[in-house]
Amino acid sequence: MASRRLLAPMAQLASAVPVAVPSMPAMRSSAAAAVTRRWQSSSTSAIAYKALRRRSAPLPLADPPSWTPEAAVSNILYEMPSPTSAPSKRHILNCLVQNEPGVLSRVSGILAARGFNIDSLVVCSTEVEDLSRMTIVLTGQDGVVEQARRQLEDLVPVWAVLDYTNAPLIQRELLLAKINTLGPEFFEELLAHHRELVATDGDEAPSLEQISKDFHPSKLAPSEALRQKHRHLRDITYMAHQFGGKVLDISTNSCIVEISAKDSRIDTFLKLIAPFGILESARTGMTVLTRSPLYESENENMVKEADEVVDISQLPPG
């Protein structure tokens, strides 16, 4: 009975208050707000925001810097790299390797991976069976070459790698050169004919008649031409003998010279013989062997020790 008395006033109050029914636009706006709140709370809200409000901003204009001479020179001096403390020099490595396929490729691969340019590489067998000697000449810094030497020594088919850079050595290299005996003018004519063959349409090559007038003397008798050819051969032979070489073959227009010497002497010979016309040349790599030390006899050591014991200044005069 008491509960009915309490519910009656509440029912009258509810009937007195008007009930607001939401319209369709209000429902749409609330749904959009809910979606916006969901984007704001999502981890990809920044991507969604930039996708909806992407605007291409104008690119900034970069004004080129105006350098003064002082500023330009200072910038160049600042950017210049400092010189390395260890300059590059030539190194001679002697590798004792197992005579099996694939050793040469593995050794050259390690040197190529470190950026070395191999100046000379000679591989030959030795008096010991299944043992080969590999002489490598390259240019680099001492520390880098030492690291490469240790890496080469870690290879399985490599027995030892010796650095002969500062050791007393006997160096030899063989040269075979085919030299023209007709004279420099015939060699120049041969070069001009080669240029005419490889010239393009736009290049203007001189005619053979003009080349003949420029290079060959007029009214030269055959006997005089023969004497000149033999004179050139005599000069080439004399030059080869001065460098310890010899003439191996003589043909109508050329000769083949053999020289065995250090690489510096071979370079000098090629520069001196170049005016005659080098038709073809072939050089082997450098082969080295260390010099044997000189051992003094025991008698000489005893005499030196006796001289050191006796002090001449303490002896009486006379």
DSSP string covering 33-78, please? HHHHHHHHHSTTHHHHHHHHS---PPPPP-PPP---HHHHHHHHHH
CATH level 2 (architecture), domain 173-197+214-287: 2-Layer Sandwich (3.30)
- Could you tell me where in the chain the CATH 3.30.70.1150 domains are found? 173-197+214-287
All CATH 3.30.70.260 domain ranges of the chain, comma separated, are 90-167
C-alpha to C-alpha distance for 250 and 271, rounded to whole angstroms: 21
Find the helix or strand (DSSP H, E) in which 89 lies.
strand 89-98
Between the alpha carbon of residue 191 and those of residues 138, 205, 217, 253, 303, the distances in Å are 33, 12, 18, 15, 69
Tally of CA atoms within 13 A in the half-sphere of 47 that contains its CB = 3
- Report residue 247 as tokens: 């003439």
Instruction: Classify domain 90-167 at the CATH class level.
Output: alpha beta
- How far apart CA 88 and CA 162 sit, in angstroms, is 19
- pLDDT digit string, tens, across residues 189-247: 666 655 666 556 555 555 555 555 555 555 667 777 788 888 889 999 999 999 999 99
pLDDT tens track for 265-312: 999 999 999 988 898 999 999 999 999 887 766 666 665 665 565 566
Beta-carbon neighbour count of residue 135 at 10 Å? Answer: 21
pTM above 0.85, yes or no: no
Answer yes or no: are the C-beta atoms of 288 and 171 closer than 8 Å: yes
d(CA 29, CA 23): 10
